[in-house]
Each structure stands twice: as structure tokens, then as C-alpha cells.
């Protein structure tokens, strides 16, 4: 089977690929892979349509969208990430429209409303946590982890423990059968 149409690759192949990709971003671009700062830039840009003075006066936004390019390489990376996943899923014929995952439905019912609300609230937590810690699974977990930054490993371990605790609190042992 053609490797490009094979729907899934081994996680080791994928992991090695991401590792090599990070050689290229460090070596060629002088950048570390990351994603979550893009959400700060986008939020700042959207807010600046409505309350430009407020955004200008906010030091955190100013750091990312005034002192640095507002549309930067990482924002391009996030756009590419979306297209890359889309192309990959179409080539591998694994593109699948999903509104309510099975595990979620088994616990909270098949309604789209609760799932969308859950995803929304979860997203708020994800970004607040990422910015408080200074990075997400990419920026801290992978880029920080591979440089052996102390804070990145602390973040990674705490995120795993917190995630496992949350998953068992929400879905319990019963959930393991429904994943």
C-alpha cells in the first residue's frame, strides 16, 4: 500500500517525524514548535477591531501583536496544521465528520448542545492553563521537553496527572469500555 494513502502511521514513525520537524524549525528557522501563542494573537486582533485602545494598553497583547509581528510564522504554522490534517485525512480516507464522540455520548447523552458547551468550556481552560504555564503540549511538552527545560517537564507531568484524574472523575472505570 502506498505510504501516503495508508490511513494511519505507527506512533513511533509520527513521533520521529515530529522530532525531525523540530530539527528543521530550530536549525533552519531558529524557532521552536508551538501553537498556543497564536490564540493570544488572534484574540488580540479580534478584540482590536472593537476596542483598539484597550488592546494597545494591555501589555500582554502589546508584547505579541505590537512589539512582534501580529501575523507571525506560528500563525502560518497553525493554518498549515489545519490544511495538513485535512489533506492527510482525505488522502488516507480517514476523514470523518464527528459531532458527539461515543465516549462523551455514553456519559452526557447524544445531544450536540452539551458536547459543544463542553468543548467550549474545555477550550477556555486549555488556553488559560497554557498561557499561565507558558506553553502547551507542543511548546512545552515537545519543544520544551526535548530541550530538558525544567518547567516544561513539570508542566508535562502535571498535565498528565491532572488529565488522568479528570478523565476518571468524569468517565470513571466504566468509561474505559466506551472510549
Partner 1 sequence: MFKFDSAQNLVLGLVAGLVFGFLLQRGAVTRYRVILGQFLWTNHTMLRVMLTAIVVGAIGIYAMHQLWAVKLHIKDTALLGNVVGGAIFGIGMVVLGYCPGTGVGALGEGSRHAIFGLLGMLVGAAVYAEFHAALKKSLLKVADLGKITLPGTSHISPWVFIAATAVIAAIVFRLLHGRDLVAGPE
Distance CA 169, CA 164 (A): 8
By the 10 Å C-beta count (0-12 exposed, 13-18 middle, 19+ buried), 27 is classed as exposed
15: helix, strand or coil: helix
Smallest gap from residue 28 Cβ to partner 1 (A):
7
Number of residues that bind partner 1 (CB under 8 A): 140
Using CB under 8 A as the binding rule, whether residue 89 contacts partner 1 is answered as yes
Query: Scanning residues 40 to 79, which ones bind partner 1 (CB under 8 A)?
Result: 40, 42-48, 52, 58-61, 65-66, 68-79
Q: Which of residues 137-156 bind partner 1 (CB under 8 A)?
A: 137-156
Q: Which of 93, 102, 109, 110 binds partner 1 (CB under 8 A)?
A: 102
Asked if residue 143 lies in contact with residue 19, where contact means CB atoms within 8 angstroms, the answer is no
Cell 476518571 identifies what position?
A: 168
Q: What minimum distance in Å lies between the beta carbon of 172 and partner 1? A: 9
Q: How far is the CB of 109 from partner 1 (least distance, A)?
A: 14
111 binds partner 1 per the rule CB under 8 A: no
| Grid-cell match 531558529, residue found | 30
**C-beta closer to partner 1: residue 109 or 176:** 176
Query: From the CB of 97, what's the least distance to partner 1, in Å?
Result: 5
Shortest Å distance, C-beta 45 to partner 1 = 7
Secondary structure (3-state) at 110: coil
In the shown chain, the binding pattern of residues 158 to 177 toward partner 1, with x for contact by CB under 8 A and - for none, equals: xxxxxxxxxxx-xx---xx-
Beta-carbon contacts of residue 100 (< 8 Å; ≥ 6 apart): 110, 111, 112, 115
Q: Which of 2, 49, 95, 110 binds partner 1 (CB under 8 A)?
A: 95
Return all residues near 78 (Cβ < 8 A) that are at least 6 apart: 35, 38
Q: Which residues contact 99 (CB under 8 A, 6 or more apart)?
A: 112, 115
Please give the residues from 5 up to 34 whose contact with partner 1 meets the rule CB under 8 A.
6-9, 11-33
Amino acid at each position: 500500500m502506498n505510504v501516503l494513502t495508508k490511513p494511519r502511521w505507527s506512533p513511533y514513525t509520527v513521533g520521529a517525524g515530529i522530532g525531525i520537524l523540530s530539527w528543521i524549525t530550530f536549525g533552519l528557522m531558529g524557532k521552536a514548535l508551538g501553537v498556543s501563542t497564536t490564540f493570544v494573537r488572534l484574540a488580540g486582533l479580534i478584540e482590536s477591531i472593537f476596542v483598539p485602545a484597550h488592546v494597545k494598553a494591555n501589555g500582554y497583547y502589546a508584547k505579541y501583536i505590537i512589539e512582534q509581528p501580529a501575523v507571525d510564522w506560528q500563525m502560518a504554522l497553525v493554518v498549515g496544521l489545519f490544511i495538513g490534517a485535512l489533506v492527510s485525512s482525505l488522502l488516507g480516507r480517514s476523514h470523518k465528520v464527528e459531532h458527539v464522540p461515543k465516549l462523551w455520548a455514553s456519559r452526557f447523552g447524544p445531544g450536540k448542545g452539551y458536547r459543544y458547551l463542553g468543548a467550549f468550556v474545555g477550550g477556555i481552560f486549555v488556553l488559560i492553563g497554557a498561557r499561565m504555564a507558558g506553553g502547551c503540549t507542543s511548546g512545552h511538552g515537545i519543544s520544551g521537553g526535548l530541550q530538558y527545560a525544567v518547567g516544561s517537564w513539570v508542566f508535562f507531568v502535571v498535565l498528565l496527572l491532572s488529565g488522568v484524574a479528570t478523565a476518571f472523575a468524569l468517565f470513571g472505570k466504566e468509561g474505559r469500555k466506551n472510549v
